[in-house]
Chain A
Amino acid sequence: MPSVTINNISKAYSSIRALDHISFDVGKREIFGLIGPDGAGKTTLFRILTTLLLPDDGTASVEGLDTVKQYREIRNIVGYMPGRFSLYQDLTVEENLNFFANVFNTSMQENYDLIKDIYIQIEPFKKRKTGRLSGGMKQKLALCCALIHKPSVLFLDEPTTGVDPVSRKEFWEMLKRLKQQNISILVSTPYMDEAMLCDKIALIQSGKILSIDTPENIIAGYPQKIYAVKGENNYRLLEYLRKNPDVQSCYIFGEYLHVTLNNEFDFRFPDKVEVNPTKASIEDCFIRLMDHRPERVSD
């Protein structure tokens, strides 16, 4: 049985469709990544799964428990880390942890082994008020608080947004370790590089799932050749390439332009331009899926 089952969930805020008939499963001991830009509906989905919000349509279950009817039971077995830091800033690190352990009728000592690796890093600051911690430390504390009652499913809403690259890397290593402790994890992120660290990902945009698979399969499924192109003036080159009918798509990718072609054999890149065939990344897949959405065409 999967840890999380999402079945045809829809949710609208007045005129905006935040989630549009979404379905997918998160397997046991899986790190499932929800990848998408801001406003894609990731947080709405998290709020439905953590029983904070009722869906307009469809059903969802966590460890076989219905999110609407059995919300009380669900609250005992999930850990949630909202996108916005939501611990008591006027309490110390230690006080926050003890408080959240206590309201779950447990104690810090009881599940210490689960949080030990993470807690050790913030322990030197345990008497410090949470409001005065750095961004990375706040995230670690929030993760500790979400884990303190030994949940079987962890929901992490953009846990690494606004966190420095080193802390981000550490954070993902911690998630890998948690997986070994029989915890299923649903994590959202706007960072494409983090997608590769998940067991499975769903690309989501405007409330719709574009693709679900392992990151490797998604990349392997990229149907075309991609060229990384670099000229003296990338912006002018971009304009030039976009006007050409043989060019299917052209977009900025770091210091290069990524170009795909309609007709590989006829096209010649202009002189004085560096051209290298390159491998597709998750970001390329995402951009392709966004461009090929049927709604876009009909717009």
Chain B
Amino acid sequence: MNENKRKIRSQWSTLKFLLQKEFLQIFRDKTILKMIIALPVVQLLILPWAATFEQRNISLSVVDNDHSTFSRKLTEKITSSGYFRLADYSVSYSQALTAVERNDADLILEIPYRFEDDLIREQSAGIMISVNAVNGQKAGLGSAYLSQIINDFNQEIIPPDVQSGRQNRINVVPYYRYNTQMNYRNYMVPGILVMLVTLIGGVPAALNIVKEKETGTIEQINVTPIPKAIFILGKLIPFWMMGLLILTIGLIVAFIVYGLVPAGRLFNIYIFAFFYLLTFSGIGLLISTYSETQQQAMFVAFFFLIIFFLLSGLFTPISSMPHYAQAITRFNPVRYFVEVMRLVFMKGSGFSDIMPQLLHVIGFAVFFNGWAVWNYKKTS
């Protein structure tokens, strides 16, 4: 009994000395320190504004064959909506088309000759919209916005008596739950926080262990009585702490800059983040057992991070991905954290709501750490 107690105490003090050494090295590395502060601030200040789902500044080329009051009013309404930028007035459709080819215009609006006359006399007139669909999202949203504006315009010019008399219209007023103002930043910021935690939780841990291999210091460590498990713990604990620190800084920046406060409990975010960090330090550890140099480790880490981020639902909704891609996202830990962040931040979900995601991530943590430990034992 006493023997066991002494053993545990000596391992505990070994871990303490290892941590002391790690922190000494981390704080001596000015680049890492700067990154810890700069990464969350810069990413949260820039990315939410840049990574937007809204389409603004769609370039529009107008071919006005009518030159009437109505045609001018319509063009004005469109350009004042804020979504469109008038690229040019073209004389003909073919000229507008060359503007599209030059990439000066994304959309062509052709107003036919006698547009106003037809509207007044026959109560109807046609308009043609041609869309450059190279950028599918821009094309889809652009034509949708444009149709909506034209629709509005239509309502305005129908004489009042006709409007009330002839038609039974259904008036749709949507209420946007959880994000009443449809502010995409509420949606992006929690996701970017995930990216930050992932970057700090996974990559440096992998690099740190490989560095010991590269510089040969691991040789010196291996001939000491330090148990392997304690050595690895000594490597991972600092990065778990840094991950949680980054998360905290990020939450503070989100509050100060965007006024974002999670609707749910912060505690749930931290609990989830802890297991998520376990997963990513496990992945980092795994990479480190397969790499001989920091360069190799960096490349492999990069490869996986890019796939993880693009297939996480952070930038593009998972539900609109093809089935095979959706299937892949099930094996992506980032996806679950993004989901949880948005659930807790926007919906205010409780602990039981994030349980499925939490179980997934715990599963990943066990899987990756198990694999890493197995491979670590095999190679040494």
Contact = CB atoms under 8 A, between A and B. Distances in A.
B220 A102 contact: no
Contacts of A50: 223
Contact of B224 (A85, A87, A89, A100): A100
A99 B220 CA distance: 12
Interface in B20-70: 20-21, 24-25, 28-29
B18 A86 contact: no
B223 A80 contact: yes
A139 B375 CA distance: 33
A88 B25 CA distance: 9
B137 interface: no
Interface residues of A, number: 25
Contact of B223 (A52, A85, A90): A52
Interface in B206-232: 215-226
Nearest to A76: B225
B13 interface: yes
B220 A80 contact: yes
Interface string A169-203: 00000000000000000000000000000000000
A87 B220 contact: yes
A145 B219 CA distance: 13
Given A103-B18, A105-B10, A72 B219 contact: no
A254 B325 CA distance: 71
Contact of B14 (A51, A76, A87, A103): A103
B21 A99 contact: yes
A78 B222 CA distance: 12
A145 B221 CA distance: 11
B17 interface: yes
B222 A52 contact: yes
B373 to A, nearest CB: 18
A91 B218 CA distance: 15
A76 B10 CA distance: 13
A104 B10 contact: no
B215 A86 contact: yes
A86 B219 CA distance: 7
B249 to A, nearest CB: 25
A231 interface: no
A82 B220 contact: yes
A86 B18 CA distance: 16
Contact of B220 (A76, A78, A95, A145): A145
Contacts of A75: 223-225
Contacts, number: 63
Interface residues of B, number: 23
Contact of A86 (B24, B216, B225): B216
B217 A88 contact: yes
A85 B216 CA distance: 7
Contacts of B225: 72, 75-76, 103-104
Contacts of A82: 216, 219-220
A236 interface: no
Nearest to A79: B223
Interface string A144-173: 010000000000000000000000000000
Secondary structure at the B interface, as helix, strand, loop or mixed, is helix
Nearest to B28: A90
A103 B17 contact: yes
A147 to B, nearest CB: 13
A50 B222 CA distance: 9
Nearest to A88: B217
B25 A91 contact: yes
Contacts of A105: 10, 13-14
Contacts of A100: 220, 224
A238 B222 CA distance: 49
Contacts of A72: 225
A84 interface: yes
Given A51-B223, A90-B29, A104-B225, A99 B17 contact: yes
Interface string B123-148: 00000000000000000000000000
B219 A52 contact: yes
A145 B224 CA distance: 11
Nearest to A72: B225
B226 A103 contact: yes
B21 A91 contact: yes
A103 B224 contact: yes
The listed residue with most A CB atoms (<10 A of its CB), out of B24, B29, B217, is B217
Contacts of B215: 86, 88-89
Nearest to B9: A105
Nearest to A99: B21
B220 A86 contact: yes
A4 to B, nearest CB: 15
A146 to B, nearest CB: 9
A87 B13 contact: no
Interface in A23-71: 50-52
Interface in A229-255: none
A89 B24 CA distance: 12
Contacts of B17: 99, 102-103
A52 B224 CA distance: 11
B217 A86 contact: yes
A91 B29 CA distance: 11
A80 B20 CA distance: 23
Given A85-B216, A102-B13, 11 more contacts: A52-B223, A76-B225, A86-B217, A86-B218, A86-B219, A90-B25, A91-B24, A100-B224, A102-B17, A105-B10, A105-B14
Per CB-CB distance, the 5 closest pairs between chain A and chain B, nearest first, are A86-B216, A102-B17, A86-B220, A80-B223, A75-B225
21 contacts: A50-B223, A52-B222, A75-B225, A82-B219, A86-B218, A86-B219, A86-B220, A90-B28, A90-B29, A91-B21, A91-B24, A91-B25, A91-B28, A99-B17, A100-B220, A102-B14, A103-B221, A103-B224, A103-B226, A104-B225, A105-B14
Interface of B: 10, 13-14, 17-18, 20-21, 24-25, 28-29, 215-226
Interface of A: 50-52, 72, 75-76, 78, 80, 82, 84-91, 95, 99-100, 102-105, 145
